A = this chain, B = another copy of it.
Amino acid sequence: MTEAHGWLCVAGLGPGDARLITPEAGEALAQATDVVGYQPYVARIAARNGLTLHASDNRVELDRARTALAMAASGRRVVIVSSGDPGVFAMAAAVMEALEGAPLWQRLDIRILPGITAMLAAAAKAGAPLGHDFCAINLSDNLKPASLIEARVRAAAGADFAMAFYNPRSASRPDTFGRVLALLREVCGPQRLIIFARAVSTPDERIHTLTLAEATAVMADMRTLVIVGSSATRRVGPFVYTPRSAPCAE
């Protein structure tokens, strides 16, 4: 690799614990000249000579992707950092969007480096609630209509998937998650298990399992990953899991 060979990696840093960052992502960071990302994720990268850190605000994903691509095109070795996995509601799709209509950028050396996404870290702490078929749904309605969220939750619950909900609640849209909980109670019944996993693998970690009847919207914030079990999900000792085998079809 010559100095002039620029590249762009989009790396997932996992949920918080440095021991959940893959060696592959660590290698890319060690070779980088520039790290680009939302400020709290860039703050996780140690400063060193020859490395420039570019921290940006949230909700400027496309600008951030274009900045990084332009730097790679100029010969820099750039890592965009995401939390979790970059392909799950994170920066990989934003980079792909930035390639639209940009044929020169499409020929760059671009690699997506997978990471431990929040739902898998949360599931591991709880036991194995995603041990059978499951869905991942982003409850943020910044980028999609609330009606689509409801349609997907209804379909997933109706087909008895376990479900992982990302970005369940923020101050700017406090009602979405409450409506989802009401819908889930209607379709799944009040005894269905729900897990609130906050700040998994950080010092603030808190894992809380209860029933839909007991759950309220204020139990979640933007650092919470919510998992709702299937009809088969059950407790055993301190754990929650979904058995690998399903009963005969409904």
Contacts and interface: CB of A to CB of B under 8 A. Distances in A.
Interface of A: 14, 17-24, 27, 61, 85-89, 92-97, 99-100, 103, 105-107, 110-117, 120-121, 123-125, 127-138, 143-145, 147-148, 151-152, 154-156, 158-161, 236-239, 241-246, 248-250
Contacts of A134: 135-136
A215 to B, nearest CB: 21
B145 A246 contact: yes
A110 to B, nearest CB: 8
Contacts of A151: 159, 249-250
A127 B231 CA distance: 34
Contacts of A129: 87
Contacts of A156: 135, 155-156, 159, 161
B128 A96 contact: yes
11 contacts: A20-B114, A85-B120, A86-B124, A92-B241, A95-B128, A97-B243, A111-B124, A114-B123, A135-B136, A136-B136, A144-B245
Given A20-B22, A106-B238, A116-B114, A132 B244 contact: no
A20 B12 CA distance: 11
A38 B64 CA distance: 43
A47 B238 CA distance: 33
B125 A242 contact: no
A163 to B, nearest CB: 9
